[in-house]
Structure 1
Amino acid sequence: MASKQLPTSQGSDGDERRRKRKLSNRESARRSRMKKQQRLDELLEEEGRIKEENKKLSQMIDATTQLHLNAASNNNVLRAQIAELTDRLRSLNSVLQIASEVSGLMIDIPDIPDTLLEPWQLPCPIQSAPASVDMFQC
């Protein structure tokens, strides 16, 4: 009979250990789920911050692109004015030269500055860096 009581006693201990192990596993699984949920919440929050930053950067790119387009347009107008004024200056210099030759007077006709003849060599050349908001959107 002693041999029959021993398995019963060990069975009770085994059941108790199994119950404790199940409880421990459940608690561990609960902690694991909580950690996963916390990490998911952090990632979603980070995604929101990144999207907001991306939106602000896109707006800055749009504004800068618009400023660049305005400056380029103004530069084109100014280049056209330079070309027109250079042509007028050439015409006036020609008239002065003809008048000087006809009158016999020595009129000092100023040279046309190189920067007017070659506006692409002005001290601040245009350096375009095209950018598009579409480049930064996923």
Structure 2
Amino acid sequence: MASPTGTCSGSNQFQNSGSEEELQALMDEKRKKRKQSNRESAKRSRMRKQKQVDDLMVQVSQLRKDNTQLLTALSVTTQSHMAVEADNSVLRTQMMELSNRLQSLNEIIHHMNYANNNNNFIINTNASIYDGPHENTFINPWNNSMFVNQPIMASADMYLY
């Protein structure tokens, strides 16, 4: 009995060791396939990452170019704005000067009209100044229409200094 069981057990050991070797070879093959698959996956991952980095570098380059263009446009716009502000300041100053002159001229006209009204009365009562052969015509430079209605001319050049 020992021999049939011994033979069986020897046969089982031989089968087991054959199975184990096959199993080991199968596991080694699976391990090799897994390693190869992992290598290929890592290679694809590195390629994807490299493509992402390349795409990002292209994007960075484009954004830098856009940024440079925007900065140039901003600089031009800022210079234009400053020029318009300077012109606006000059125009405001000229407007204030002209407003002051207009107010002064209006005051002069008002005083001249007031003086004309009063001078006519004074001159008419004072018969010592004559303006011609008629005794009732008096000299009154403020009443002379040639002077009262003359516009005051101003040159644009005078505002440049």
Question: Is the shorter-chain TM-score for this pair beyond 0.5, marking a shared fold?
Answer: yes
Verify: 1:85 aligned to 2:86, yes or no: no
Verify: 1:50 aligned to 2:63, yes or no: yes
| CA distance in structure 2 between the aligned counterparts of 1:61 and 1:20, rounded to whole angstroms | 60
| CA distance in structure 2 between the aligned counterparts of 1:74 and 1:98, rounded to whole angstroms | 36
| CA distance in structure 2 between the aligned counterparts of 1:102 and 1:17, rounded to whole angstroms | 122
Which of these two proteins has the greater Rg computed from alpha carbons?
2
In the TM superposition, what whole-angstrom CA distance separates every residue of 1:8-50 from its partner, at most 9, and x where no partner exists?
1111111111111111110000000000000111111111111
Secondary structure at the aligned position of 1:34 is classed as: helix
Aligned twin of 1:121: none
Aligned twin of 1:32: 45
In the TM superposition, what whole-angstrom CA distance separates every residue of 1:78-99 from its partner, at most 9, and x where no partner exists?
0110111111111111111111
Aligned twin of 1:15: 28
Q: Give percent identity, aligned residues only.
A: 36
Amino acid at match of 1:33: R
| CA distance in structure 2 between the aligned counterparts of 1:7 and 1:46, rounded to whole angstroms | 57
TM-score of the aligned structures, taking structure 2 as reference length: 0.62
Amino acid at match of 1:46: Q
Verify: 1:96 aligned to 2:102, yes or no: no
In the TM superposition, what whole-angstrom CA distance separates every residue of 1:48-98 from its partner, at most 9, and x where no partner exists?
111111111111111111111111100100011011111111111111111
Aligned twin of 2:89: 76
Structure 1 residue 103, shift from structure 2 partner: 1.5
Aligned twin of 2:132: none
| CA distance in structure 2 between the aligned counterparts of 1:27 and 1:3, rounded to whole angstroms | 35
Aligned twin of 1:116: none
TM-score of the aligned structures, taking structure 1 as reference length: 0.72
After the TM superposition, which segments of 4 or more aligned residues of structure 1 sit over 4 Å from their partners? none
Bigger RCO (CA 8 Å, 6+ sep) = 1
Amino acid at match of 2:53: L
